Amino acid sequence: MDSPHPAPNTPAVTRLSDTEWQAVEDGRAIGRADASRRPDGRLFVSIDTWHDTVFDRLAAALLTDLPAPLHTVVDEADHDTRSAWQRAGFTTARRERAYLVPTDPQATGLGAVRPPEGVTILPAGLAEEGPLRALERVVHAEVEAGAGWPAMPAQVLPRPAGTIVVDPTTYAVARQGDRYVGLIRVTPPRRPRIGLIAVRAELRRRGIARALLAHALDSLHRGGTATAWAEATESDPAATALLEGVGARRAGATLELVHR
């Protein structure tokens, strides 16, 4: 947040819309803030400015205009931004580890991993959309009945009630008989990201998640991708153990801060 620009005196903060604020001095915009409500109801805010004074003014406007609790996400290594939010009264709610996951089976040790008996893996793009939607509904219901969406990694978002959005080209699926029992989602931008690994509750701890991960990483490796990106919340030891068990390297962390 440090800048060679001189610090402003008393910027005027204006609410532009239900979700946007702007700080202005001498007719020049010197900062802005935004708010967005996630499908689970949590309200996330962000501030973009060079100056501590402007940050504090925008943060005060957010706290005045919006109902608590408010959430934000910061890079753990960004000490200036973290301190700015803490000045406004935000505290750490959880820490999420970021990982770089190797795809080479010789590095992951997953080359010999196969699904348990009776389970087959459908590569991305081959799953039928109807059964895939049904499995996502089951997964979402199990999350809501268990840890809840606030405990999930920031990039794994719930959907509004009754809404399931799936793109079969990004999912590989574990099938047992005529039923889909597990899935892995890999998004394909410049650095592929493992967005979700999930198995039906009654079939966990049988090696299905590990087989899905082995399949997805091997597919990326054969396509020429050396590493994938993944996140795991520290409060989820199973996800952390799965990633670190295949040689994933920690590549930083993000903090979710909250003002109650």
The residue count of the chain comes to 260
Number of domains in the chain: 2
Given 89, 120, 152, which residue is the final one in a domain? 89
> Would the pTM of this model clear 0.85, i.e. be above it?
no
CA 18/CA 135 separation, integer angstroms: 35
In a domain, 3, yes or no: no
Residue 49: give its domain's CATH number: 3.40.630.30
Co-location of 162 and 215 in the same domain? yes
| Predicted confidence (pLDDT) per residue in 201-218, tens digit | 999 999 999 999 999 999
- Give per-residue pLDDT as tens, 34-82: 999 876 788 999 999 999 999 999 999 999 999 999 999 999 999 999 9
Question: What type of residue sits at position 12?
Answer: A
Helix 208-222 / helix 237-244 crossing angle, nearest 10 deg: 40
SS3 state of residue 179: strand
Residue at 233 is within a domain: yes
Same domain, 45 and 125: no
Instruction: Decide which of 89, 107, 140 is a domain's last residue.
Output: 89
Residue 182 is part of which domain span?
98-255
Check whether residue 72 and residue 171 sit in a common domain. no
Q: Are residues 224 and 114 in the same domain?
A: yes
Same-domain check for residues 177 and 224: yes
> DSSP string spanning 33-47?
EEEEE-TTS-EEEEE
Answer yes or no: do 65 and 158 share one domain: no
Is 208 found in the same domain as 133?
A: yes
pLDDT tens, residue by residue, 130-169: 999 899 888 888 877 665 545 544 444 444 444 445 688 9
Let me know whether 55 and 112 are in one domain.
no
Residue where one domain finishes, among candidates 89, 122, 157: 89
Q: Residue 219 CA to chain centroid, in angstroms? A: 22
Q: Are strands 91-102 and 249-259 parallel, antiparallel or unpaired?
A: antiparallel
Higher pLDDT pick, 68 / 9:
68
Residue 197 within a domain? yes
Structure tokens at 202: 């009654």
Q: Looking at the predicted structure, is the pLDDT value of residue 30 above 70?
A: yes
Establish if 194 belongs to a structural domain: yes
Say if residue 92's pLDDT is above 90: yes
Three-state DSSP class for residue 173: strand
- Residues 23, 119: one domain? no
